[in-house]
Structure 1
Amino acid sequence: MKKAFSTLFLLIFMVLSACSPSPVKDPISSVDVQTEIAPISPAEDSGEVGYPVAAESVMPIYAYPVGTEMEDLPLEEIAEIVVQALAVRDLATVARFVHPELGVCFSPYTYVKGDNPVFLPDQLPELVGSTSVYLWGTFDGSGEPIEMTFDEYFDRFLFSADFSNPEEMAVNEQIGRGNTINNIAEFFPGSTFIEYHFSGFEEEYGGMDWVSLRLVFVQEGGQWYLVGLVNDRWTI
């Protein structure tokens, strides 16, 4: 009888042991944790200034303080942002300040003409690196057409000198003076221009190799909009 009871007890114990849950490993210690690295921004990948950001993040705009509203900036500060952006051909930043309907007019000389090319904000970033040839005006003296890509025009006229670090700068004051009439006030009524100027580079030319860039702005609804990028230099 005792032997039968002992056998029955052993069987019950074995059944209960089989039904008990087996020990579980600590999920933290048993799983290999892998760190996910954020993708590199295009700017960093291309060697330009940049840093890894999450996909939903917004990349800061060159030379533009994050969180600052454009309409809260004074004109000279806006002009500084624009000229610094031009220096690195960052036309996406320039486009943020261009008039949405009037666009921005490019003129190789200070006498602006109605047939000078005009680009709207969304067209500007596409100009850099483009092989498209545009008619920018005519060469002073010869009258030959200025037919160039944007990058060629940029080097020959728009940024023929480092206007982001000018020798002189003035607001609504013409520094460089040649034989060409400055018609900015008539072509852009009610506008304000900021001039970036170099008085010359080679002593042998006696200052006749001076160059200027004038950023032309109009104000609407308390905001300043870029409407003109006008170059100037000594002309015959």
Structure 2
Amino acid sequence: MKMNLCLSLLLAAFLVTGCQSGAEDQTENTSEQENITENDSTNEESPEDVENTAEIDENNDEPQKSHEEIIKEKADEIITLLKEDDVEKLSEYVHPEKGLLFSPYVYVEENAVTFKKDQVEKFLNDEKEYMWGNEDGSGHPIELTPADYYDKYVFDASFDEEDEVVFDPKEARGNMIRNVKDIFPDAHVVEYYVRGTEEYDNMDWKALNLAFEQDESGEWKLVAIVHDQWTI
């Protein structure tokens, strides 16, 4: 009799404990569900947020400039500096390792004069005469100071008011072989062409070629200024 009473009490206690545990689990699950719902609501983007994100994505989708566009912009800047005789600023465009080569004609000689970047900065103040090549026709040596060479074979026409700009020209305008790409195979060239006058039957045309190569950082730098004109 006592045994049966004890078993009944234990069973009753077990049932009460189980019910309480079930109620607690249900309460806990309900609380977790409420937290999940609240977090989802918090993470939802407002229309304003979506609009701002779209603007950012649109800005990131702006097309990058091509090599040709970058080089042409640099070439235009250099033409302006040449017109203004601003060789100090010009030196900032010069290739740091290869320096700046000068050629009076579109056929570049192997021993063409090349100035280092810091020499370009003082180019017009250099009173030394250099052998720049030989005159077409006469074959006479072109022995000039940098300033005199500049006037005769660098900015000797209104290249800032050019009649034509050509990127990587293939054909020579005169009868002289164009070999700039042989000297600088990795270069891109921008040619500024000024047509001749009727007075001289258009034979007094001039062109200036600016050659660019990338430096170690991938920036396009000036490696050559190659003059071109009618030759015999």
TM-score normalised by structure 2 residue count: 0.67
Partner of residue 153 from structure 2, selected from 149, 152, 157: 157
Q: Where does the alignment leave 5 or more consecutive residues of structure 1 unmatched?
A: 1-70
Cα distance change on mapping 1:199 and 1:175 into 2, 3 Å = farther
> Could you tell me how far 1:173 is from its partner in structure 2?
2.0
Once residues 196 and 76 of structure 1 are traced to their aligned partners in structure 2, the CA distance between those partners, rounded to angstroms, is 11
Once residues 125 and 213 of structure 2 are traced to their aligned partners in structure 1, the CA distance between those partners, rounded to angstroms, is 29
Q: Where does the alignment leave 5 or more consecutive residues of structure 2 unmatched?
A: 1-66
1:218 aligns with 2:231: no
Q: Which amino acid aligns with 2:225?
A: L
Query: CA RMSD, aligned part only?
Result: 1.7
Runs of 4+ in 1 over 3 A off after TM superposition: none
Once residues 184 and 116 of structure 2 are traced to their aligned partners in structure 1, the CA distance between those partners, rounded to angstroms, is 16
Name the structure 2 match of 1:208: 203
> Could you tell me how far 1:142 is from its partner in structure 2?
1.1
Name the structure 1 match of 2:132: 136
Name the structure 2 match of 1:36: none
Once residues 172 and 125 of structure 2 are traced to their aligned partners in structure 1, the CA distance between those partners, rounded to angstroms, is 30
SS of corresponding position for 2:160:
coil
Confirm or deny: 8 A CA contact 2:172 2:178 kept in the other structure. Answer: no
Name the structure 2 match of 1:57: none
Confirm or deny: 8 A CA contact 1:176 1:197 kept in the other structure. Answer: no
> Could you tell me how far 1:145 is from its partner in structure 2?
0.5
Percentage of pairs with the same residue: 39
Deviations 1:53-73 (A, max 9, x none): xxxxxxxxxxxxxxxxxx9x8
Name the structure 1 match of 2:190: 194
- Count of equivalent residues: 164
Q: Which amino acid aligns with 2:203?
A: M
Once residues 112 and 91 of structure 1 are traced to their aligned partners in structure 2, the CA distance between those partners, rounded to angstroms, is 22
Q: Which amino acid aligns with 2:180?
A: I
1:172 aligns with 2:168: yes
Q: Which amino acid aligns with 2:95?
A: H
Where do 1:1-236 residues align within 5 Å? 74-174=70-170, 177-201=173-197, 203-220=198-215, 221-236=217-232
Confirm or deny: 8 A CA contact 2:158 2:194 kept in the other structure. Answer: no
> Could you tell me how far 1:205 is from its partner in structure 2?
1.9
TM-score normalised by structure 1 residue count: 0.66
> Could you tell me how far 1:120 is from its partner in structure 2?
0.8
Deviations 1:57-112 (A, max 9, x none): xxxxxxxxxxxxxx9x8111111111111111111111111111110100000000
